Every structure is written in C-alpha cells, then in structure tokens.
Amino acid sequence: MPYLLIIAAFLGNSFNIFGPPVRMYWRQNNNLLLRETDMKQSTTIFLSLILAAGFARADTLIHAGGLIDGDSGRISSERTIRIDAGTITAIERGYSAPADGDTVIDLKDSTVMPGLMDMHVHLTGQYSQKSNLNRFILNEADYALDAVMYARRTLDAGFTVVRNVGDAYNVTIALRKSIADGDVPGPLIFSAAKGLSSTGGHGDPTNGWAARFGADPGPKEGVVNSVEDARQAVRQRYKDGADWIKITATGGVLSVAKSGQNPQFTDEELRAIIDTAADYGMRVAAHAHGTEGMKRAVIAGVASIEHGTYMTEEVMDLMKEHGTFYVPTIMAGNWVGEKAKIDGFFPELVRPKAAEIGPIIKNTFAAAYKAGVPIVFGTDTGVSAHGDNGQEFGLMVEGGMPEMEAIQSATSVAADFLGIGDTHGRLKAGFQADIVAVPGNPLEDISLMEQVSFVMKGGTIYK
C-alpha cells in the first residue's frame, strides 16, 4: 500500500500543467464538498483517492449462537467470528457491532463449527446396479463430469476437505486443480489417484472381465505383483500428481472376486510401497477387511486402516503402538448390508460378501473406540450417495463415541492427520475461514449434522 501511494504522488507531481483551478467534488458525511486546486495537486489527490478506495478493507462478521472451535469439549455461546480476505482474524465474545462496510451473517440460531473433513470418499462414481456395466460404457469425460457434480454435493453437505482414496483416470487430480483455481466449486481434495492392488485383488480394474479381452494391467494401472512393480507403481502416482498412496491390503466387498478378506500383498511388497512413498513425501492408506492383511499393513507402516472389519485386539494393540489411524466407514457397511437383501442388486459373487461383512463394521468401531485406537472420520461415500456423508456421525455416536468427539474426528483430528492442522480444522485467529453451521445444537441431536445450512470455504459462501 505505501508503495502505491508513492507512485500516485510521483505521477501527480510529474504533470507539469498549471492551468486554471480545477474543481474537485466528493461526498463526506452526506455533505458535498468542493475544493479548488491546480491540475498537479488534483492529479495526486485523485489517484490517491482511487487507490485508497480500491484497497479499503471490510470484514465479514459471523454472529454465531453456538460455536464449536474444534479443540474445546464444549460449545461456546454468542460469539462473533471476524473474517478478512478468507482468513479468521478474531473470535470475539458477544455479537460485535459492524463497522461501515462490514458484512454481518446472522447465525444466532445455529451452531457454527469448522468445515468438515471426510477421509474416505470416491468422487468419480456412486454405486448402483449399473456400476459393473459402467466400466465398459463410460468414458473419461463421463467420470469427470460426474465428479464435478459429486464434489458440489459434498461441499453442500458441509465437507470442505476430503481425501479421495481411489478414482478412475486420475480424474480427482484434475478436479483438485480446477477447484483450487476457482473454476468449479468443491472441497479441497487430497487425492490418491488410482489405488494399488495385486492381480485379481480388490483394486484390479479387470476383475470379472471375460478372458477374451486379454487385459493384463500392470503398475501404471495400479496392479502390483513384485517389489519392483510396487516401486514403479508408487513412482507413477508421484508422476501423476497424487498426494497419497492407496493400497488394497485385503480383498473387498464390491469387487467381482471371491474373497473379501484374504491378504493381497507380501511383506516385501508392502515395505517397498511404504518406503518408496516416504521417499516422495507420501503416506499410505490401506483398505483392509481381513485380520492378516491388516497386521501386515500396520507393521509395514501404513498411516491408516480403512474399514477394518475383522480387527482383533492384537491388531488394535498394533495400531496404537504404531500410531495407525482407523477410518471406520460404518455407513458403507450398513449400506452394503441393506442392499445385499435385494435380489439382483449385487452380482452373485459380491452379494454374500456384502451380507457378511457389512453388518460387522459398526461393532468393530465400538470395540476400537473402547480400546483407544486413534479414529478419524471417513465414510466411503461413493458406495453410498454423495451428500449423505453426515449420516456417519450418528452411527459413530451409536457405536459409543460422544457427539463432540465425533465432530472433532471430522475437524481438528482430521486436519492434524492430513498435516494441515495449522490452517484448517479449527475456528481460531489465523486459520482459513472454512466454516459450516447446523440449525440447533448437534450435541443434543447428532442428526443435525445431516442438515448443514451454511457453508463457507476460504471466506466464500457456497450455501
């Protein structure tokens, strides 16, 4: 700002014009003022007024009836959040009066909290009875357009940050850039691009294909069958622009393959994946249902276990010892369990896995929480419908986690887990203005987390 005023003065003084007096008018306190001056002086004044007007700052004030800051175990009442240029500058007691030019957002009837974060989504799709057919009839552009739509639904549900653990055609890497550039609305994305599997494993994209297609995917497509394949696959994801590495440490529910539990990487392959990822500044998320695959993944050093259906006390102890986070995805388990009751909804190879594995996850969550396993919020949305992410909170509470801890698992805990805890996940001065609100008190009714009524991301209001 000082430099610009100096430039204005320089430009004004450089006009060597001394003609008749110039009349300048401006309004102050509803009075029209007049000043006569020469051209040189008027130029300086004129440019200075333009610059001052262009750089005048106005704050946005949110009057919050209740405030969850991400750290405290209680709700603060009657607070004002002051925002300037997309950043929280202060949290003030009471409802601060606005200065001239300030914008006030009245959320006195709501509980305001940090933007929510979901650590397990798949923005490029949404499961339906056509999902297996879609692999043959959808093009890259179809997935990209769907992802834009699902990203907006996710943001509208109050989720301003997501970790996308597996996609098609690296769509979420391109989507991440478009959102960051402001071209399309959506959450901040941490993308794992295409996940890593073994031949026939849960992430093999050719499972269920007829042999005549002759498909034989390799490391570039995410299929790993040796230590060298493992290193190459990780390096390919680094080249593609991934933030994380996702592996399928065991079989899965929705893949067209028989087992949902068997381990699908050797210890050596896991070590190669994790060590290579660390070389490139990435961490590893491990899809895992079966016990042995979970043990191998935790011991090898993954950052998180996704689903964790058959987690035993031994695995829980290992996770606590290694600091491995659990991403429960209870709603995905509920969803597949319910859909398994419908004749023809799943392929016959998938249906018994969905019926068996789905209902177990909620009990696993309850046991893991009681045992003190570190837990971070994640839904596996893309199995269930995008925008329904908030249903996970109620399921976590049913599983024994207090309401505030469930909310913190999707705010401050998630931010620290992602390594952005110094800018996101909390409502405090200096943090990004990612702010959402629900109508009422979610500590009294956790289902309100499914009714997000206000969404701000980076100081911009989206809902």
Indicate whether 125 belongs to any domain: yes
- State the Cα–Cα distance between residues 262 and 228, nearest whole angstrom: 22
- Overall average pLDDT of the 134-158 stretch: 93
Find the mean pLDDT for residues 22-48. Answer: 45
Higher pLDDT, 337 or 376: 376
Helix (H, G, I), strand (E, B) or coil at 119: strand
Bridge partners (DSSP) listed for residue 116? 159
Which among 337, 315, 413, 399 is positioned nearest to 118, based on CA atoms? 413
Choice among 117-126, 144-153, 197-206 with the minimum mean pLDDT? 197-206
Shortest CA distance to 431 belongs to which of 91, 110, 62, 187? Answer: 91
Span 228-253, mean pLDDT?
95
User: Please, what is the Cα angle at 390 between 387 and 391, to 5 degrees?
Assistant: 105
Alpha carbon distances (Å) from 170 to 80, 91, 147, 283, 350: 41, 39, 11, 18, 26
Whether 339 and 454 map to the same domain: the answer is no
pLDDT higher than threshold 70 for residue 8: no
17-21, 106-110, 456-460, range with the lowest pLDDT: 17-21
Task: Name the pLDDT band for 19 (thresholds 50, 70, 90).
Answer: very low
CA dihedral for 65, 69, 70, 72, sign (positive or negative): negative
What pLDDT, on a 0 to 100 scale, did the predictor assign at position 9? 39
* Residue 6 confidence (pLDDT) above 80: no
CATH of residue 91's domain is: 2.30.40.10
Quick one: pLDDT band at residue 201, thresholds 50, 70, 90? confident
pLDDT one-digit tens code per residue, 404-458: 999 999 999 999 999 999 999 999 999 999 999 999 999 999 999 999 999 999 9
Mean pLDDT for the chain overall? 88
- State the Cα–Cα distance between residues 442 and 24, nearest whole angstrom: 57
Half-sphere exposure for 432 (CA within 13 Å, toward CB): 19
- Confirm if 339 and 354 have CB atoms less than 8 A apart: yes
Identify whether 289 is part of a domain. Answer: yes
**pLDDT(1) > 80:** no
Sequence letter at residue 81: I
Ranges 194-208, 279-293, 334-348, most confident: 279-293
Identify whether 382 is part of a domain: yes
Residue type, 190: F
**120 and 110 in one domain?**
no
Q: Residues 208, 346: one domain?
A: yes
Judged by average pLDDT, the poorest of 230-244, 255-269, 368-382, 396-410 is: 255-269
Average the pLDDT over 331-360 and give the result: 88
Q: In the predicted model, is pLDDT for residue 254 greater than 80? A: no
Q: State whether 98 and 146 are in the same domain.
A: no
89 shares its domain with 226: no
With respect to residue 420, please indicate whether it lies within any of the assigned structural domains. no
CATH number for the domain that contains residue 219: 3.20.20.140
Q: What is the DSSP string of 56-111?
A: ----EEEEEEEE--SSSSS-EEEEEEEEETTEEEEEEES-PPPPTT-EEEEEEEEE
pLDDT band at 18 (very low <50, low <70, confident <90, very high): very low
What local confidence, expressed as pLDDT, does residue 295 receive? 98
- 284-288 vs 304-307, strand pairing mode: parallel
Quick check: helix, strand or coil at residue 184? coil
Residue 416 lies in a domain: no
If asked whether residues 98 and 172 sit together in one domain, one would say: no
What count of other Cβ atoms lies within 10 Å of the Cβ of residue 363? 13
Q: Per the structure, how many domains does the chain have?
A: 3
In terms of residue numbers, what domain contains 200?
116-389
How far apart, in Å, are the Cα atoms of 164 and each of 76, 122, 248? Answer: 32, 5, 14
**Strands (E) located in 168-239:** 188-191
Report yes or no on 384 lying in a domain.
yes
Helix (H) or strand (E) holding 317: helix 313-322
Same domain, 157 and 300: yes
Tens-place pLDDT, residues 92-103: 999 999 999 999
